[in-house]
Amino acid sequence: MLFTKYVITAAVAAVFAVPAFAAETLSAKDLQTASALRDAAQTGNLSYRILESLTTEIGPRMAGSKNDARAVAWAEAKFRELGFDKVWKEPVTFPVWTRGVESAEIVAPFPQPLLVTALGFSVGTPAEGITGDIVRFATLKDLIEAPDDAVRGKIAFIDHKMQKASDYGSVQAGRSQGASEAARKGAVALVIRSVGTDSHRFPHTGMMRYKEGIPKIPAAAISNPDADLVVRMLERGKPVSLKLRLGAENEGTYTSYNVIGEITGTEKKDEYVLIGGHLDSWDLGTGAIDDGAGVAITMAAGEFIKRQGLRPKRSIRVVLYANEEQGLIGGKAYHDAHVKDLHKIQAAAEADSGQGPVVRFSSYVQPAALPVVKQMFDVLAPLGVQAGDNDAHPGPDMGILKSAGTASFGLGLNNEDYFDLHHTPDDTFDKIVPARINQTAAAYAAFAWMAAQSPVSFGSGTDALKALKTVSK
Ligand code: ZN
Ligand code: ZN
């Protein structure tokens, strides 16, 4: 009933929005439906309720853990409950990492415990721990440029403070590469200031990688307040000694699944709009913002279209990726399994930077489709969305699809508070604000509908899109 009311209201506005060259653009009817979806999907709290279910009934779901399998079963059941036409899963195999016990303490000159967490895929310490003097570096670059004898036999400490969300790329380089750079100079362990913008005493975990041919040393993060504490101790001029114990281990391989739900199209059902998020999370919180939100937003967007009785021309496919956190492994598996059919992806857009709201809409389409993109933007603009460039990044798991020539969209989310919670025990459902996540689900529903109805291809696999890539790089 509610939906009908919106249709009537939107129809009046849409009449004036019909462009002169209608054959190449979305019809007035499709635009009016999209506007109605946008408005109606902001009510009802569906994405909020899906996320409540995931975080309450499953909680943490680290790749390869017992909860990984429970999350896969939850996702299949939820897709069916929501009325998706087809539900299936595709295998994703990866090495298993377990965290084990973890502790850190300053042993001299001011003995006291710190809160610590191992970085993903770190090796463990011997059971009795590793003890060493701390040597501080402001950034990864400073560590790389330091003389070897300043680091040898010590615990390297990268003290790179993240001020705002846009610092993530530069600051996380210390997390992902710091251990091997420290080990190259003879360090016995690496500790980093957490990659996070909060002042809570929670360390932020996250993925790290060892370089080939360099000894693997344990790597861990301490919270921002504990990093400040260590800095104050170091300022007093005496050696500061830290004892670190990590029980982390690598244990064989595991097969999880990308879980997929589809609303089947009517006219071009082999072509599809690809949306989704990643189903795995780290183990410390319940994975509400990372990336339960993306799971809930895109499931809700699909369900909302279905519930209105709408049948899209192209199919709408929601993919919940396995194991994003430990190296985009589900995203690569999806690419590899569908590599012969990537031209059938009309558009790819992942939600993986929190609950929103959507603040920017950008595309990566062949030039012939830009008039349709402008129509799509006009429908989303009343949500407070700004226009971006035609060089969108579709999200971490879908980046590989863009690289392979798939048309992509970026529904850029407000992430101002995302890195307060990211990869910590604080990533929990109470942080979710219905108005924020509802706006995001509404934007995804309207976007997916318009992309599925577009009279023109967005250009996946075409020379026109390849040419664009050459120009924009
Ligand atoms: Zn994520
Ligand atoms: Zn993450």
The per-residue pLDDT for range 311-322, each reduced to its tens digit, is 999 999 999 999
Q: Give distance in angstroms: CA of 17 to centre of ligand 2.
A: 40
Q: Give dist(CA 454, CA 208) in Å, integer.
A: 41
The HSE-up count of residue 138 (CA atoms within 13 Å, CB side) is 2
Q: Give dist(CA 52, CA 429) in Å, integer.
A: 7
Among residues 380, 382, 333, 337, which one has the least CA distance to residue 361?
380
Is the pLDDT at 8 greater than 50? The verdict is no
> Which ligand has the minimum distance to the alpha carbon of residue 350?
1
Q: Give distance in angstroms: CA of 206 to centre of ligand 2.
A: 7
Mean of pLDDT values over 23-33: 92
403-446 pLDDT, tens per residue?
999 999 999 999 999 999 999 999 999 999 999 999 999 999 99
Q: Give distance in angstroms: CA of 244 to centre of ligand 1.
A: 28
Q: Give distance in angstroms: CA of 288 to centre of ligand 2.
A: 11
Q: Give distance in angstroms: CA of 455 to centre of ligand 1.
A: 33
Is the pLDDT at 18 greater than 80? The verdict is no
Among residues 370, 435, 446, which one has the least CA distance to residue 411?
446
pLDDT of residue 471: 57
pLDDT of residue 435: 97
Is the pLDDT at 10 greater than 60? The verdict is no
Structural contact between residues 424 and 284, judged by C-beta atoms closer than 8 angstroms: yes
152-195 pLDDT, tens per residue?
999 999 999 999 999 999 999 999 999 999 999 999 999 999 99
Tell me the pLDDT of the chain averaged across its residues: 94
Kindly list the structural domains of the chain, giving each domain's residue range(s) and its CATH number in brackets, ordered by start: 10-97+253-472 (3.40.630.10), 100-247 (3.50.30.30)
Structural contact between residues 232 and 203, judged by C-beta atoms closer than 8 angstroms: no
Among residues 257, 292, 254, which one has the least CA distance to residue 88?
257
Q: Give dist(CA 277, CA 354) in Å, integer.
A: 10
259-293 pLDDT, tens per residue?
999 999 999 999 999 999 999 999 999 999 999 99
pLDDT of residue 470: 62
Q: Give distance in angstroms: CA of 321 to centre of ligand 2.
A: 12
pLDDT of residue 9: 44
pLDDT of residue 226: 98
Q: How many CB atoms lie within 10 A of CB 225?
A: 15
Q: Give distance in angstroms: CA of 276 to centre of ligand 1.
A: 11
Q: Give distance in angstroms: CA of 291 to centre of ligand 1.
A: 5
Task: Mark out the alpha helices in 404-433 (DSSP H runs).
Answer: 418-421
> Which ligand has the minimum distance to the alpha carbon of residue 168?
2
The one-letter amino acid code at 363 reads: S
pLDDT of residue 21: 47
Among residues 437, 285, 417, which one has the least CA distance to residue 355?
437
pLDDT of residue 22: 45
Q: Which residues keep their CB under 5 angstroms from ion ligand 2?
A: 290
Q: Give distance in angstroms: CA of 40 to centre of ligand 2.
A: 30
pLDDT of residue 257: 98
Report residue 139's pLDDT band, with 50, 70 and 90 as the boundaries: very high
Q: Give dist(CA 104, CA 129) in Å, integer.
A: 9
Is the pLDDT at 468 greater than 90? The verdict is no
Residues 6+ apart with CB under 8 A from 340: none
Report residue 148's pLDDT band, with 50, 70 and 90 as the boundaries: very high
Q: Give dist(CA 363, CA 348) in Å, integer.
A: 10
Cis peptide before 357 (omega within 30 of 0): yes
Mean of pLDDT values over 18-26: 63
And the tokens for 282?
């780290």
Is the pLDDT at 15 greater than 60? The verdict is no
Mean of pLDDT values over 94-117: 98
> Which ligand has the minimum distance to the alpha carbon of residue 320?
1
Mean of pLDDT values over 40-66: 96
> Which ligand has the minimum distance to the alpha carbon of residue 285?
2
Is the pLDDT at 219 greater than 90? The verdict is yes
Report residue 44's pLDDT band, with 50, 70 and 90 as the boundaries: confident
Report residue 297's pLDDT band, with 50, 70 and 90 as the boundaries: very high
117: DSSP letter: E
> Which ligand has the minimum distance to the alpha carbon of residue 204?
2
Active site residues: 324
